[in-house]
Amino acid sequence: MQTTLKTQYTNDLHWLAFLLTGRRDQSIDLAVETVAEFHTAQPFFTAWMEAWSRRVVIAKALTGIREELAASVRRTEFRRFHGRTFPPRHWRMNQGTTKFELEAALLAIDYFPRAALVLSVFERVPAPDCAVILDATPALVKKALTIGLMELTGILAGAQGRISKSTHPWGLPTETQYA
């Protein structure tokens, strides 16, 4: 049982690192390295060490993509919103959406908006902490999170056949393309 939990925890760290970096080999190395660093912890400290190891993986993953993240920050700063890119209000994510589909949708998002989304929504990191972790202003992190959410919902809705993705530069719908 303990081995199964450790394997699942390592897999969770790997997926977190992979969502941030987009690099499978690098994320495997980060997860295994981090678990190896903390596996000798006393049982009393296990829960704390597991929470801390997530932060360590985040820090290492973001350090590993420092250049790509900086370029993405610049793109985000200058990005303008044109038209509505959210699915219709009645749209809901299909309950049959797989982890692979979610992963593919997240990896289609540029580094900085994806990192803001993963940290804020999936890791529940408070907005002020996200700004510190991502070395950006709170306003820019909020903009990146908005972009990330718009793109994620647009991609998932498009993948579910609710909307056409034919002309948006990132494969996202424009307001006239809703079904």
pLDDT tens for residues 122-163? Answer: 999 999 999 999 999 999 999 999 999 989 988 888 766 644
- The answer to whether residues 77 and 52 belong to one domain is no
| Predicted TM-score (pTM) of this structure | 0.79
Say what the pLDDT of residue 85 is.
59
Say what the pLDDT of residue 72 is.
97
Query: What is the rounded CA–CA span in Å between residue 11 and residue 32?
Result: 9
- The answer to whether residues 99 and 151 belong to one domain is yes
Phi, psi of 178, rounded to the nearest 5 degrees: -75, 145
Say what the pLDDT of residue 90 is.
67
Q: Which of 17, 44, 64 is the endpoint of a domain?
A: 64
Q: Which of 64, 79, 97 is the endpoint of a domain?
A: 64
Secondary structure letter of residue 44 according to DSSP:
G
Q: Which domain holds residue 53?
A: 2-64
Say what the pLDDT of residue 8 is.
81
Say what the pLDDT of residue 158 is.
76
Say what the pLDDT of residue 156 is.
86
- The answer to whether residues 10 and 25 belong to one domain is yes
- The letter for the amino acid at 32 is V
- The answer to whether residues 108 and 148 belong to one domain is yes
Structure tokens given for 1: 């049982």
Structure tokens given for 43: 């049982």
**Count of structural domains within the chain:** 2
Q: Which of 18, 37, 64 is the endpoint of a domain?
A: 64
The residue length of the chain stands at 179
Q: Tell me which residues of the chain have a pLDDT lower than 50.
A: 1, 162-179
Say what the pLDDT of residue 174 is.
41
- The answer to whether residues 28 and 93 belong to one domain is no
Q: What is the dihedral of CA 138, 142, 143, 144, to 10 degrees?
A: 100
3-state secondary structure at position 89: coil
- The answer to whether residues 74 and 148 belong to one domain is yes
- The answer to whether residues 108 and 79 belong to one domain is yes
Residues 172, 151 contacting (CB under 8 angstroms): yes
Whole-angstrom Cα Rg for the chain: 18
Say what the pLDDT of residue 170 is.
42
- The answer to whether residues 14 and 54 belong to one domain is yes
